[in-house]
A and B are shown apart, each in its own frame.
Chain A
Amino acid sequence: MEKEYNNNITKSGEKPDPALLAVDGLLLEMGRNGTGNDSDFLREVMAAVRKEDNEKHHVFTIFRIVASLAAMLAVVSGVIFMFYGRIPSGTVDDKDKMPCILVCSPGGLIKSGNKEEAIINGMSLKTDDTVHIFKSRSAFVQFSCRASMEVGSGSIIQFNDIHTITDKRQKLSGTGISLKDGVIQADISGLKDGDAFTVATAQGVFMTQKSSFILVETPEVCFVEVNNGSVRFRDENGLLSVINAGQSKVIHGVNTSGLAAGTIDSAEVINEYKNRLTLQSRDIEELLLQLSKKKKADICLREVISKRDVSL
């Protein structure tokens, strides 16, 4: 039914008189039901009220049953616990299973979303995080039991695709990073079929399932040196090449022959960047040991440490 005024304003632009609105309400109600009771309305309200009351009673009864069952379960669990004498093992928080970054000496930034902060040892890495390691500093990333990576000083890496990895008994999924500038030395122990460790560069994508390799990426040079296993490289045109153990390849760079003085030499650049990988095995073990002493050390981390014969 039309009301000639809508909320606060009348059609003439004036505010309605509250007393007239009150009379309006009375007339509307009388127009519907005269002066007698609105029995339909009363019936509806009482039916709704009874239904509400019954549901409340049922909910309360169900709650009582559930509470009793929960109490019984607690008693039974307690008995089992007492009998077996140990608490069943729980799982570590998900964030502790994410790859973590460790810095040998302070000096790096991590950009996560819009937030930029200094890298703290043991920080978890998430997809789309970008890490910038300052010059003369060094860092190490532990992805899982099967993948780790030293990040050379001055490097910038974006973690495109990180999946939660638990331990080798669980399904392992891939990791993808983008090397923007700098050098990495990666050690990939052997991923399952269909999984791969990938590194994207300006020239194309490197992929491996089992290898250890060094990758240099600068505006002038892209270079890979494979120490163990094999690395596949697919360039922007889709052309595939395979670099095996003991081999290296300059994907992009300046030819060293016939260079004028002052021109950048690929070999020089490659060597300079490789020299930025400064972490020794002992340094990495110490970093991992420090991390393992944190409260919720990852199960995978313990395996890594034990493999390196570092005592906990």
Chain B
Amino acid sequence: MTDCGTTTAPKLLETPLNALHREMGGQMVAFAGYEMPVQFPMGIKGEHLHCRQKAGLFDVSHMGQAMLDPINPEDDIARLFEELVPGAIATLKPGQMRYSLLLDDTGGILDDLMITRRADRENGLFIVVNAGPRLGDFAHIRSRLAGRARLSLCDDRALLALQGPDASDVLAAIIPACRDLLFMEALWTSLDGLDLIISRSGYTGEDGFEISLPAAHAESFARRLLADERVAPIGLGARDSLRLEAGLCLYGQDLSPEITPVEADLLWAIPKARRDRADFPGAGRILGQIAEGPARKRVGISPDDRTIARDGTAIYSPDGTQKLGIITSGGFGPTVNAPVAMGLIDAKAATPGTDIALMVRGKLRKAHVKALPFVTQNYVRKSSKPKQG
């Protein structure tokens, strides 16, 4: 066996839940400069299935939280922020949340992020960016909106995610108002004097919530959630397999400055009004790709046997004569009980059902293009019927 032990490099940052992770038997690894649990004693597969069946608690405090305010109160901060992203931000109502993309001037993706119009004040945004690129993101935002917006980092806040079909019952036992939220809505509330931001969102494909709260109280709040027997702690390993099955992109693998939103198949994140105005970074290139179709596109990929194709695996035509692309995320999907992957592929091979081949350990293995997601997304939207029980 090759040595698969994980070592922890020195000088890693710790989240407010570090001691709790260790107490619960978390296997700690280095991730984006933070020491994070990759799994707990339940194991990645068990954690993954538990989250889809009951509820999982994730520490996502390594992600970058920040508040954005206009310097001139006459400016709408959401309108200003549209200069950096292709999404409809100005039309967000208070407490409404949007997934969007920070773009560079060529339309490449600097990061994906969540943007919420604050519900506790008239003119402010709450943003959450990925851990790895967070410092670059913040520098980019400050530089682009210099003199017009003030970015305040929430370094004193933790972020938890509670995901799964039981998440709403578990959280409502503590904060009943969370039940009234729909997918991508947030509320500002307080509990025992703590100010909380709770959004109905997450990155597993399940119903669930993300809870931003003061770091000093994160552990006690997490313990309160974990005291419910339906809740299990979930590490980075299952976080990755859950988001991959749900067809969600991971920055640094499926998204990067070399990839545009059109190539990443995130056209839904560029609404018509923004396309018409063509006023976002890289609009020329992106609108060109929309009109002509991109040369390559992100797709789901299912290996025909049980071979796991991880990121970096080359994609070929079935006869192996033509290289078609590359796997950007790949692993095993415990819910579908099969290998799952996403990759960037030549647009003419991007139709679901297309036969392809993957080069794994020097051998070509049969696979096919698969429509995303691999599992049904269980978000609570306006049209959803009330939950049973």
**A and B: bona fide binding partners:** no
Give residues in A with beta carbon < 8 Å to B: none
Give residues in B with beta carbon < 8 Å to A: none
